[in-house]
Structure 1
Amino acid sequence: MNSSRRSVALLAASALVLGGCSSTGNDAGESKSSAGGKVTVEWWNIWTTEPLKSYGAQAIKDFQAKHPNITIKSVPYENEAFKAKLTTLTQSGKAPDVFQTWGGGVLGQQVDAGLVKDLSGDAGSWIGTFTDAALSAYQIEGKTYAIPDDIGMVGFWYNKALFKKAGIAEPPSTWSQLIDDVKKLKSAGVTPIALGGKDKWPGHYYWAYLAMRIGGLDALKQAGESKDFTGAPFVQAGQKLKELADLQPFQKGFLGATYGDPGGQAATMGDGKAAMELMGQWAPAVEKDAGKGLGDDLGFFPFPAVDGGAGAVTDAFGGGGGFAIGSEAPPEAIEWVKFLTESTEHRKAVATGGVLPVLKGEEDAVTDPNLSVVAKNLAGATGFQLYLDQAYPPAVGQEVNDSVAQLIGGTKTPEQVAQAITETAKSE
C-alpha cells in the first residue's frame, strides 16, 4: 500500500473501521498442514482494536467449531505495520494465505506478480451477493481477486446548527450552491470548512470528486489507462477547487493542521468551530475522539453535482477493505473468507459498527444513525471510484496528493497540477 495515503485517518478511526495497535505474528506467510487432514490457515488482518478485535476472535471460534479440521491462525498488525510487513513478504515472492487488501493499484501489482488467486471461479456462486460498488476495487479485467468485507464513501459532514445560524435551510446539491453557502457562512462569522492541509490526502478528495462530477467515472478510468490527466475535466476540477480556496473557507492555520491530532481537522469540526468537512464514514467517530462531537447536530450530504457535468451525484468516491487469498494457500482459505462474508455472519460484523454493508440488502443491519445514512447512499450508488491514491500506482497517488495540496496552498495552478500528475504517471 501507499503508506502516505489515509494512514492517519485509518489509525484515528480504528475503533470504527480499520484498527490501530500493534501486535506480533508469524512472518512466514505460509500455511501449515499436518497429518490427518488438519490444516492451518494464516490470516493477516488489521483487526487490532474494538469492536473488530473481539468480533474476529469469536468468528474464529464459531468457524473452527464448524470446521474442526481447520485452524485459523490470526496474525493481526496495526495498519502501517501491516503494510510494511506485507510489502516485505510480497517482495520475496510470497503472500499470506488470507490477507487484508484495499484493492486498486497495489492489488494489481500483486496480481501481476502471480501472488493472489483469481477467485472468479471459486467464489462464482456468491460473488453475485455483493453490491457492485463493494466489488469494484477488487476486479481487474473482468476477474475478481479479492472478496469485500467493508466499504465506505467520502461526503460532506456538516453542523446543522451552524448552517441554521447562516440561514442555510438545506444542504447544497450543486457546486454553485456550495460556493454560495460558503459565502453565507463567512458572512455569519462561521468558518465554513475544516481541513487538515498538512496531511495532504484530505484535500485530494475535493479535486477527485470534482473531476468525477465534471468528467464522469470514465474520465478517471481513461486517464489512468492513458496516463494523461491534462484533459478538461482535470483542469476544470482544479479551477473549481481554486475558486473555493480563493474564498479562504478553511480554519486559520489549516496548512499546518493534520487530520486527527488535537486542533486538527476532526477536532475543529467536532468542537463546532467549522460548519463542514469532506471526509469518509469514520468522521463522526474521529470528531468525537478528537473533539467533543456534534451529536444530533451532525448531518451528512453527498458531494454536490457540477452544473453541466457528465458525472452523476449518485456516483460515490471512497474505499473499503477486503480479503485476498495467496496463490499458494490451501482450499480451506476460501472457506474462511466465505464464512466471514456470507450474510448471517457478515451482518454480525456490520451490527458491531466495525464495517459497513457490502452485501445486497444488508443496510438494515447498520445500527448507528450516521453510518446508516452512508450505507443508504452507498446502496443507491450508480458508480464507485476508489481513492485516487489507491486506484493509481503509488507514485501517481502521491503526486495527486502533493500537487492538489499545492493548489489549495496557492503555489500551483490547475494546469500545473494536471501536468505534474501526468508526468509522474508517464514515468511509471
Structure 2
Amino acid sequence: MTLQFFSTKTENASTYKQLIKKFEKQNPNITVKLSSPSNAATVLKTDLAKNSIPDVMGVGGDANFLQLEKAHVLKNLSGESYTKNVQPAYKKMITSLYSGNKLYAVPYATNASGVIYNKSLFAKAGISETPTTWNEFINDCKILKAKGITPIEFTFKDSWTTLAIFNQLSSNMISSTWINKRLDNKSTFLKTHKQVMAKYIDLFNYGQADYNGTSYNDGNAAFAKGKAAMMINGNFVIPEITGLNKKVNLGMFMFPVNNNKSQNKVTSGVDVAFAISNKTKHAQAAEKFVKFLMEEKNAKEYAKQQFAFSAIKGVSQDSSLVSGISPELTKGNVTNYPDHYYPSSFDMTKILTQTGVNAKSGMSETKNINQSLKNADKAFNSANVKE
C-alpha cells in the first residue's frame, strides 16, 4: 500500500524523510510517498480541480489550508485521540479560520515572532536585562543609539519583513475579534490602528540609515557581523544568522508591545498541521501515519531538526537561543498572526513598505499614519470580495 503525503513546506523534507523511514520500518506494509513542491499552492489547486487529493497533507494555518477546507475535502479530526495532546490555543488558531468548531487539521509545529538580539552588544551598552514593556524597549533603543550601536536592523527591501513587525504590534494591541468587523465592513484600519501605526513608525528612528534598501539576506549578514543589536522577526531567522557566524552570541525575547506586561503575548502561528482527505482509500493507514508523527518523541525530533516550536503539550524547543521566549509558548501565552485572517489578495506589505518610504522622505507622522491606514482600507475593500 502506498500513502501519498503532500507538504506545502519544502524546507522540512529532509526531516520528513527520516520520520517516514522510521514509520515504514515499523509498518512494512505501508509505503509513504512524500511530495513537497515549491509551487505547492498551484499543485493543490490542480489536485482540487482533478478531485484527486493526497491522502495526508502537511499544511500551514494559511490560505492553502483554507482552500482545502472550503472545498470540503478534509476529514474532521476532532475526535481523534492524538488531538487531545495539542495545546488549545493552536487548535483555536485553526478553527477560527472558518465557521464551526470541527478540527480539519491538527496543529503540529509552530513558529514564533519576537526580538532576536545580540547579547554581546547589549552588555557593551550596559543593558543587563531584556525589556518587558514598550517604554523599556524604546529606552534600550535610545541607550544603544547613544553608545554608537544601531539598535534595530530592518530589511524592508524584502517587503514581507515589514509584516513581521506590524503583525506583532497589531496582534498585541487590537482585539482578535476586530477582523470579523472589518470583513463585515463595520470597522476600518483608520479608526482602530492609529496607535499601532504610530509605534511602527517610531521604530524607524532606531534602524540603520538604509532600512528601506536592505534585503533580508544582507540584513542577516550585517547582523551576524554585529552591525546592529536587534532584529524583529521570527525564530527561523536565528539559524540563518548563526550559519553565517557561529560565534555570534544571540538570544530572543518577546516583543514588549504594551506597557502593561500582562497584555503582552508572543505572536505565534501554526507552521505545520496535518490534514487527511475525507476521500482517501487508505483511511486506516493515514490515521496511523498522522498518529505516528504526533507521538511526543517524533514531534520533539521534528522541533529539534527544524528549529521549530511544537503545538504538542510537553514538547519544548530546548535551544538556549530561544530560552527567553520558549516558556511563553509552552504555557500558551500566544496570539495568532493577524494577516492569517486577511483576504488572500490583500497585500499589507505594500502599504507598510510605503510607510517606511514616506518616513524617510520626511512626511509628518500624522500624515503618514492617516495616509497609510486609508490606503490599507482601500486595498482591503478591493480584496474583500465575498465568495
TM-score by length of 2: 0.86
Which of 104, 114, 123 is 2:72 aligned to? 114
Q: How does 1:39-54 map to 2 (within 5 A)?
A: 39-45=1-7, 52-54=12-14
Shift of the alpha carbon at 1:100?
2.3
- 1:403 corresponds to: 351
Aligned partner (choices 307, 326, 333) of residue 277 of structure 2: 326
Aligned to 1:67: 27
Q: Secondary structure at the match of 2:33?
A: strand
1:352 aligns with 2:313: no
For 2:208, what is the secondary structure of its paired residue?
coil
Displacement of 1:417 in angstroms is 2.7
Indicate conservation of the 8 Å contact 1:258/1:265, yes or no.
Answer: yes
- The corresponding residue for 2:215 is 258
Q: Do the aligned partners of 1:319 and 1:386 also contact (CA within 8 Å) in 2?
A: no
| Pairwise CA distance, 1:220 | 4.6
What letter matches 1:252 in structure 2? A
**Cα deviation per residue 1:192-220 (whole Å; 9 max; x = unaligned)?**
11111111121122222222222243335
Residue 375 (1) aligns with residue 326 (2): yes
Aligned residue type for 1:414? I
How many Å apart are 1:372 and its aligned residue?
A: 4.5
After superposition, residues 382-393 of structure 1 pair within 5 angstroms as 382-386=333-337, 388=339, 390-393=340-343
Aligned counterparts of 1:341 and 1:182: Cα–Cα separation in 2: 41
CA distance in 2, matches of 1:208, 1:426: 19
Check 1:40–1:320 CA distance in 2 against 1; reply closer, same or farther (3 A cut): same
Percent identity for Structure 1 against Structure 2 = 26
In structure 1, give the amino acid aligned to 2:219: Q
Contact 1:216 1:312 survives alignment (8 Å): no
CA–CA separation in structure 1 for the residues paired with 2:107 and 2:25: 24
Q: Partners of 1:424 and 1:94 in 2: how far apart?
A: 34
Query: How many angstroms apart in 2 are the aligned matches of 1:395 and 1:149?
Result: 27
Change (3 A) 1:195 1:53: same
2:93 pairs with 1:137: yes
**1:25-75 CA distance string (max 9 Å, x none):** xxxxxxxxxxxxxx32101126756xx545433322332333343221112
Given that residues 217 and 383 in structure 1 are in contact (C-alpha distance below 8 angstroms), is that contact kept between their aligned partners in structure 2? no
Q: Give 1:87's aligned residue.
A: 45
8 Å CA contact 1:316–1:381 kept in 2: the answer is no
Verify the 8 A CA contact 2:41 2:64 in the aligned structure 1: no
After superposition, the C-alpha distances for 1:150-173 in whole angstroms (9 at most, x for unaligned) are: 111100011122222323232222
Whole-Å separation in 1 of the counterparts to 2:62 and 2:39: 19
Change (3 A) 1:165 1:65: closer
The 5 Å alignment of 1:86-105 reads 86-105=44-63
CA shift, 1:110, in A, is 2.1
Residue 184 of structure 1 deviates from its aligned partner by 1.8
Structure 1 vs Structure 2 CA RMSD: 2.6
CA distance in 1, matches of 2:84, 2:151: 42
Aligned positions, number? 371
Within 5 Å, give how 1:169-180 maps onto structure 2: 169-180=128-139
Structure 1 residues 138 and 99, CA gap change in structure 2 (3 angstroms): same
Normalization by structure 1: what TM-score? 0.78
Residues 357 and 319 of structure 1: is their aligned pair in 2 closer, same or farther, counting only changes over 3 Å?
Answer: closer
Tell me the distance in 2 between the aligned counterparts of 1:329 and 1:406: 46
Provide the secondary structure at the position in 2 that maps to 1:254.
coil
Separation (CA, whole Å) in 2 of partners of 1:168 and 1:233: 34
**Equivalent-residue separation in structure 1 for 2:56 and 2:236 (angstroms):** 25
Counterpart in 1 of 2:289? 336
- Quick one: which amino acid aligns to residue 35 of structure 2? V
Identify unmatched segments of 5+ residues in structure 2.
360-366
The 1-side partners of 2:64 and 2:185 are apart by: 18
Which deviations, in whole Å up to 9, do the C-alpha atoms of 1:371-426 show, x marking residues without a partner? 444432211233421351x3322212x2x111111112226722233333333333
Helix, strand or coil for the counterpart of 2:152?
coil
SS at match of 2:126: coil
Q: Of 242, 260, 272, which residue of structure 2 is paired with 1:288?
A: 242
Kindly report which structure 2 residues correspond to 1:239-250, keeping only aligned pairs within 5 A, or say none.
239-245=198-204, 247=205, 249-250=206-207
* Local SS of the residue matching 2:157: helix
Q: Distance in 2 between matches of 1:241 and 1:58?
A: 42
Cα gap change, 1:184/1:48 in structure 2, threshold over 3 Å: closer, same or farther? same
